[in-house]
Chain A
Amino acid sequence: MISISDAYKIYQVGDSEVRALDGVSLTVEDGEFVAIVGPSGSGKSTLMNIIGCLDVPDAGAYQLDELDVTALSERRIAKARGRKIGFIFQGFNLLPKLNALENVELPLIYQNLPYAKRKAAALQALESVGLRDRATHKPDELSGGEQQRVAVARALAGRPSVILADEPTGNLDSKTGEEIMKLFHEMHAAGNTIVLITHDPAIAAQAERRVRMQDGKLYEDSKEGCA
């Protein structure tokens, strides 16, 4: 469960200050599929960084499951990030020198999982995105859609509390994008909590809940069933 209350993040740009987060409160229940929409500069990336434990708010509280993230040391935050958050990026962000399986294994290595368990979990995750037969391929031997599916497998492998996706279809053509979105629905159906950041209304419409960022403030759009 994500619970952010009254979070502020203010950047100083030259003489003016930019209020990236201006008193944002957001609660995401376990198993929810939430889309955060908003134009660039609206503060949605800042919000994503805070949800993903990549950054901490200047003021306000962030509770992730049992953890009070704002009170944790840098080391504990890094550990929490690895265990609780599964990132999916627009640019895939696979390590180019590792093959698909090794990429999926990486978060498990940082969780100190023993070799056999790690291999099994990584293979299972690859299986769930339908890429088990591509396990030994390097990222540059895979298509964009396949790379993103490896990234999805990597996010899933560590069984995180939250899947955090930043424009996951942004670098893909619409057909491949659809396939990735299908994966998201599957993940959701399997009980995963998903937070999806996008500026594409068509993608956002597929989430069960939509929130909108505008000038550092958060607005609840709607709460409805899966489209």
Chain B
Amino acid sequence: MIWQSAKMAVKAIWGNKTRSFLTVLGIIIGIVAITVLITIGQGATGQIVTTIEGIGTNVLEVSILTEDNPLDLEKLETDLRAMDVVLDVAPSQNVSGGQLKWMGNTMNARSISGTTPAYPAVKNAPLAQGRFITQADLDNESYVAVIGANIASTLFEGSNPVGETITIAGLPYTVVGVLQKNESGTMGSTDSQIFIPFTLAQKIAGTRAVASFTVAASNSDSVNDAEAQLKAYLDDLMPDNSEGSNRRRSGNMRTNVMAMFGMSGGDNSNYSIYNQSNVLDALGEATATLTLMLGGIAGIALLVGGIGIMNMMLTSVTERTREIGIRKAIGATRGNILFQFLVEALLLCLLGGGLGLGISALILRVVAYFMNIPLAISLSVIEMALGFSLFVGLVFGIYPANKAAKCKPIDALRFNG
């Protein structure tokens, strides 16, 4: 019976191709809207999340803001490595960049930072070639450099940089290693960076204090514990003794702005901590809301499509009164007729859903090409699209189907236009 009804429905739909297509168009547009919007939303979110996760969700970036900074390298390493939730700590000291030279080639370095051997593990930045900065380099304040992948390819144009001597801002450095290309995106990428020993950078900058460092928590679950311990430690080390309402107010405003970007300094204006996992949480919430909103708008399109289906089905019931009468006269029950028209509405909607998904796939391919992000319709979106179409078919098909089923055969047969 189901098979027979489906066959009858296909015949009815096919017998009226133009009208069926125009009716289904509403569903197609609704499904395309839902699928494309949600998939683009998911794709964009996915890319941002990948970028952030590439930097590491277990890391805390700390900046010391006060001039009166008691932290030096030895104290930092000793105190932080003593904390059980801290995996390791890597300080960084930026020095101004300048022109890079190797053989005849030159380029400008935007960023040169001094750091310690802990850096590759803390920042998840593996080496492609050579070695990273060692403790001996720190002790000797050696003129050695580890370069990012972009610098290696631009400056050395394919030849092996390890062991070569380059000139940075007039001083000669020996290249000892090259970092792997960072695929996760531009944010925090090491591709265009140059690393030198931390002690050397401090000497160039003329300071002994550590103003900026990255802490890796032992895993992404303990990052909030690590943040709390770090705060307690820093509060103890440099208590915020700024009074005065003016200072307090501006401090609060700064705290609010920082909180939006996942930073927190607590009430202490002497330092700030940037926590990646906070950013991820906030981002997740924002995109979930956005996706829901887009889905809602697309849902309205689907609703309009559903009303179109109902309209056509009602017209079809009126037109086919005689057919319904004949079917009833030769033994169709109310249930048979109801089922036949319901299957027709469901098939129309499924057809719309299927075509909609197909068109969405094409549109997403084009969008993915131009936006240069991977966009694939996820299984859950396919399920949702088909589920929605069936739901619309059911909701908007039941009334016309019931109307058809209720036709009295004598009235129906009298309809003898």
Binding site for B on A (CB under 8 A): 49, 52, 54-55, 74-75, 78-79, 81-83, 87, 89, 91, 93-95, 97-98, 106-107, 109-112, 154, 158
Contacts and interface: CB of A to CB of B under 8 A. Distances in A.
B410 A78 contact: no
B409 A95 contact: no
A97 B15 contact: yes
Nearest to A80: B331
Nearest to A96: B323
Nearest to A92: B326
A154 B1 CA distance: 19
B248 interface: no
B332 interface: yes
B332 A54 contact: no
Contact of B331 (A81, A93, A98): A81
Given A78-B332, A110-B330, 17 more contacts: A54-B329, A54-B410, A75-B333, A78-B328, A79-B331, A81-B328, A81-B330, A81-B331, A82-B332, A83-B331, A87-B329, A93-B413, A95-B323, A97-B15, A109-B1, A110-B332, A110-B336
B327 interface: yes
A91 B330 contact: no
Contacts of B408: 54
Contacts of B12: 97
Interface size, B (range): 20 to 34
B372 interface: no
Interface centre among B328, B329, B409 (most CB of A within 10 A): B329
Nearest to B322: A93
Given A79-B333, A82-B332, A93 B4 contact: no
Contacts of B332: 78, 82, 110
B334 A87 contact: no
Contact of A81 (B11, B322, B329, B335): B329
Query: Closest 9 CB pairs between A and B?
Result: A82-B331, A110-B331, A78-B333, A107-B330, A93-B326, A54-B410, A54-B409, A87-B329, A110-B332
Contacts of A95: 323, 326-327
B416 A91 contact: yes
A195 to B, nearest CB: 15
19 contacts: A49-B410, A78-B328, A78-B331, A78-B332, A78-B333, A79-B333, A81-B329, A81-B330, A82-B332, A89-B413, A93-B413, A94-B326, A98-B11, A106-B327, A106-B330, A107-B330, A110-B327, A110-B333, A158-B330
A52 B15 contact: no
Contacts of A83: 331
Contacts of A154: 330
Contacts of B334: 74-75, 78
A49 B325 CA distance: 12
B7 to A, nearest CB: 10
A98 B327 CA distance: 12
Nearest to B3: A115
Nearest to B320: A95
Nearest to A82: B331
A158 B335 CA distance: 20
Interface centre among B11, B15, B328, B330 (most CB of A within 10 A): B330
B410 A55 contact: yes
A55 B410 CA distance: 8
A93 B326 CA distance: 7
Contacts of B335: 75
A81 B12 CA distance: 25
A83 B1 CA distance: 17
Nearest to B1: A112
A25 B46 CA distance: 80
Contacts of A97: 11-12, 15
A155 B8 CA distance: 21
Contacts of A110: 327, 330-333, 336
Interface string B377-417: 00000000000000000000000000000001110010010
A98 B328 CA distance: 16
A97 B334 CA distance: 21
A106 B337 CA distance: 13
Interface string B1-45: 100100000011001000000000000000000000000000000
Nearest to A110: B331
A82 B330 contact: yes
Interface centre among A49, A106, A158 (most CB of B within 10 A): A106
B416 A109 contact: no
Contacts of B325: 93
Interface string B317-359: 0000011011111111111100000000000000000000000
A50 B334 CA distance: 18
B410 A111 contact: no
Interface in B183-236: none
Contacts of A87: 329-330
Contacts of A98: 11
